[in-house]
Amino acid sequence: MNTFSLHLLPFVALISSFPNVVSVCSRNRPVIFNFGDSNSETGGFVAGLGLDVGYPYGRAFFRRPTGRASDGRLVIDFLCEYLDADYLSPYLDSLEPHFTNGVNFAICGAATLPKNVPFNLNIQILQFKRFHNRSIELHTKGKAKGSFGALTYAQVIEKIPSFISEIKDAMWAIYQLGGRNFWVHNTGPLGCLPRELAIRDNLNTNDFDEYGCIKSLNEGAKAFNAKLKALCQQLRSQMEKSTIVYVDVYSIKHNLIINSTFYGFKNPLMTCCGHGGAPYNFDPDFDKTCLGTGYTVCEKGTRYISWDGTHYTEAANAIVASKILSTHYSSPPLEFNFFCNSVGIS
């Protein structure tokens, strides 16, 4: 029976110098608080635990590793660029933290549940409270998340209410500290990640959809997303003077994968940095992953969606971010200049 072993990524924050896109926040830039996992962390894991992520991570833009789980910029980086703001510094960075435009609480492996996972959502909220108690008045955005863990599809469906409850509590905790603006991303098509496809050897043709993704994983993600959207609708009516934007990142990423050739990508289910070749180029043996030494990496400049089997490349992140900016996937479809002109503490 299929199991779920990926973290979810709901709650996010704000983006980039894309062609023909001009920053809308030249004067009043919102301050961003970001809560999440490795998909949006900007070096918290490295700073907090003293571990290192080596080259070729970071090669596409920074030209060096920065603790980001990609070859370059993440969606959160593009969001900051769009506001003409500095990239978010991780909360755990004790060397030269730069918190003038916000704080990044996201860290690799964090989850909503179980609560004993290091740096889970509860810990991130506690860190936020400590930061808030320094009497810093800020505007906000956020990024929450859940975790499927090693669960079957039936177990995931059963536990979704618990995930949603934890996210609800986190949003209320931020609201009670003055947070009024929330930017909430749902989770993407987990069944299309090369890692998830490669580690399962007990699947048959009926387990895959027409695009080669695992149906049960994607159905589980969509079930979670439906509850998350309903939560956002509920909280809009309960949190006075607040703005809660729900963004359908699932549709953005799924569209990118199924229409990969339109966007100039080949092999949408194959990693750039990994081992084993087609169809997925992912080997669960740590030494053969992009974090080990036995990997191979695609030629610099070639367009892949997946960087290391779980995280996206900078090229893919740029497209995802541009779709987010379009407002076509947002409910309500607010332009980002709304947050530039919004007044409040968060």
Residue 331: strand pairing partners: 246
- Tokens 């289910």 locate to 269
- What local confidence, expressed as pLDDT, does residue 155 receive? 82
- What local confidence, expressed as pLDDT, does residue 200 receive? 87
Whether 209 is catalytic is no
Catalytic residue, from 7, 16, 37, 38: name it.
Answer: 38
Rounded CA separation 290/55 (Å) = 9
Strands (E) in 169-303, as ranges, are 181-185, 243-247, 273-274, 296-297
- Environment class of residue 160 by beta-carbon count within 10 Å: exposed (0-12), middle (13-18) or buried (19+)? buried
CA dihedral (174, 177, 180, 183) in degrees, to 10, reads -20
Tokens coding 141: 């955005």
Q: What pTM was computed for the model?
A: 0.84
CA geometry: angle 108, 111, 117, nearest 5 deg: 85
- What local confidence, expressed as pLDDT, does residue 115 receive? 54
- What local confidence, expressed as pLDDT, does residue 244 receive? 92
Q: pLDDT tens for residues 30-54?
A: 778 888 888 888 887 776 666 677 8
Catalytic residue, from 185, 248, 311, 330: name it.
Answer: 311
Q: pLDDT tens for residues 81-121?
A: 888 888 988 887 766 666 777 888 877 765 554 555 555 55
User: Which residue ranges of the chain lie beneath pLDDT 50?
Assistant: 1-24, 113, 128, 131-146, 343-346
**DSSP-derived pairing of the beta strands 273-274 and 243-247:** unpaired
Catalytic residue, from 308, 322, 330, 346: name it.
Answer: 308
- What local confidence, expressed as pLDDT, does residue 313 receive? 97
Q: Distance from CA of residue 85 to its chain's centroid?
A: 19
Question: DSSP states of 71-103 as a string?
Answer: SS--HHHHHHHHTT-PPPPBTT--SS---TTEE
Whether 38 is catalytic is yes
Rounded CA separation 344/178 (Å) = 8
- What local confidence, expressed as pLDDT, does residue 71 receive? 96
| Contact between residue 144 and residue 11 where contact means Cβ atoms under 8 Å apart | yes
- What local confidence, expressed as pLDDT, does residue 33 receive? 84
Rounded CA separation 241/323 (Å) = 27
The three-state secondary structure class of 185 is: strand
| Contact between residue 213 and residue 269 where contact means Cβ atoms under 8 Å apart | yes
Whether 308 is catalytic is yes
- What local confidence, expressed as pLDDT, does residue 141 receive? 40
Q: Is the peptide bond before 161 cis (omega within 30 degrees of 0)?
A: no
